[in-house]
């Protein structure tokens, strides 16, 4: 028996309780700062991670995004679940103009070539 629309809505219904609607819109090429909550013992602090969004992947509650930054000459990438309760907030610093949804070509580029044009709205 094929799942009817009502059945799939149950998945959406559960996901709607998880999805964080307060996050700003962002896409590949944008420069963002992710404020991520980190627990150390019983203390909690917020660690910012600033970099370029390489991709957004998946949909619904399981959507994730990849952020890449250069840390003292070494590329560092982190993957965050979009709806993770550990994300305090996401700040979009700069909107990038890119032609594709996944900009993995950025990994092979450094210096002047790794620049992304700013999107004028």
Partner 1 sequence: MLGIIGKKVGMTSVFSEEGKSIPCTLIQAEPNVVTQLRTMDTDGYRAVQLAAGERKEKNTSAALKGHFAKAKTTPKAYVAEFKNFRADTGEELNLGDEVNVEIFEEGQFVDVIATSKGKGFQGVVKRHGFAGVGGATHGQHNRLRAPGSIGAASYPARVFKGMRMAGRMGGNRTKITNLQIVKVMPEDNVLVVKGAVPGHKGCFVIVER
Pick 15 or 56: Cβ nearer partner 1:
15
User: Does 43 contact partner 1 by CB under 8 A?
Assistant: no
Pick 60 or 114: Cβ nearer partner 1:
60
User: Does 7 contact partner 1 by CB under 8 A?
Assistant: yes
Count of residues making up the chain:
121
Q: Which of 49, 69, 83, 116 binds partner 1 (CB under 8 A)?
A: 83
Look-up: residue for tokens 């070509």? 105
Q: Helix, strand or coil for residue 107?
A: helix
Q: How far is the CB of 14 from partner 1 (least distance, A)?
A: 6
User: Does 57 contact partner 1 by CB under 8 A?
Assistant: no
Pick 33 or 64: Cβ nearer partner 1:
64
> Whose CA is closest to 49, among 64, 31, 62?
31
Return left, alpha or beta for 111; rule: phi > 0 is left, psi -120 to 50 is alpha, else beta. left
Any bridge partners for residue 35, and if so which? 48, 89
What share of residues in the chain are helix, strand, coil (percent, to 5)?
20, 40, 40
User: Does 94 contact partner 1 by CB under 8 A?
Assistant: no
Which residues are at the interface with partner 1 (CB under 8 A)? 1-3, 7-8, 10-11, 13-15, 18, 37, 39, 60-62, 81, 83-86
């Amino acid at each position: 028996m094929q799942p009817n629309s009502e059945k799939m809505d149950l998945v959406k219904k559960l996901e709607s309780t998880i999805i964080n609607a307060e996050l700003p819109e962002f896409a590949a090429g944008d420069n963002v700062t992710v404020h991520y909550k980190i627990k150390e013992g019983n203390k909690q602090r917020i660690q910012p991670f600033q970099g370029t969004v390489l991709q957004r992947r998946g949909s619904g509650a399981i959507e994730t995004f990849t952020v890449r930054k250069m840390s003292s000459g070494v590329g560092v990438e982190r993957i965050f679940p979009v709806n993770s309760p550990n994300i305090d907030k996401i700040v979009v610093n700069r909107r990038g103009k890119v032609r594709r949804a996944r900009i993995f070509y950025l990994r092979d580029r450094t210096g002047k070539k790794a620049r992304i044009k700013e999107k004028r709205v």
